[in-house]
Amino acid sequence: MLISAYVLHTRKYRETSLLVDFFTKTQGKISCVANGARRPKSQFNGLIQPFQPLLISWKGKRDLHTLVYAEQERHVPDMYSTNIFSAYYLNELLMKSLAKEDPYEDLFLIYDQTLDFMQNKKEEIDFIIRIFEINLMKNLGYNLPLNYDIEGLPIDDKARYEYKHEQGFIKSTEGYLGEALKFLDQCQYNKSHLLAQKKLMRQVIANILGHELYTRKVYSKILGYVQ
């Protein structure tokens, strides 16, 4: 049986093979050896690429499978160059947060839709990423209370809030504007709130994972050089 999948990460293995981490529709994140994938005439030649929807089959033990077959599920346009780093960020986020062999079918569909947006749109990408992050947190069991504070009171649009890990939002003289939290909770786009929403999700994810993601650090450095 062929299963829908995306490549999350690859690394060289022995002389001619690859170790591949896939995000699959039915089994979540799995690791496979793609034997001979680096040979010029390999059956996997040109297929083991990120952001391309695949159909794959595998066999073998739970921790490290053997990739048996792969084909392109459908043709997709090339990713906009300005969105490449953002797409790699999504992959790193999934690599660092998902346990192996845990199925996340809803999250897989959201990832698929997010990549589709990124392959077809140049604008609103930051907000699309925020929505993906929120959905990822929900699938992992982290409920970010964006519509009420730690006392159970509704978030006030005009008030500011500080975020406390594993507690929630508390009113503060500085911090995140309540309206920005509400808009994020309701998946409403507002350009003026994008920076605050990005800062919040960076804080939330760093608290959960225990560190900042590598792709974010690299992208920040590149922006610094450009500016």
Distance (Å, whole) CA 84 – CA 82: 6
Q: What is the pLDDT of residues 126-162, one digit of tens each?
A: 999 999 999 999 998 888 999 999 999 999 999 999 9
Structure tokens at 198: 């990005």
Say yes or no to pLDDT of 219 above 50: no
Model-level pTM? 0.88
**Could you give the domains of the chain?**
3-72 (2.40.50.140), 81-226 (1.20.1440.120)
pLDDT value, residue 223: 37
Q: What is the pLDDT of residues 104-119, one digit of tens each?
A: 999 999 999 999 988 8
Q: What is the pLDDT of residues 71-85, one digit of tens each?
A: 999 988 888 788 888
Instruction: Report the chain's mean pLDDT, rounded to a whole number.
Output: 90
Burial state string for 125-163 with b = 16 or more CB within 10 A and e = fewer than 16: bebbbbbbbbbbbebeeeebebeebeeeeebeeebbbbb
DSSP 38-94: TSTT-TTTTTS-BT--EEEEEES-SSSEEEEEEEESS--PPPPGGGHHHHHHHHHHH
Top-confidence residue, 34 or 207:
34
Structure tokens at 171: 């009113």
Segment 89-107 mean pLDDT: 94
Structure tokens at 94: 């999934």
Q: What is the pLDDT of residues 2-56, one digit of tens each?
A: 999 999 999 999 999 999 999 999 999 999 999 999 999 999 999 999 999 999 9
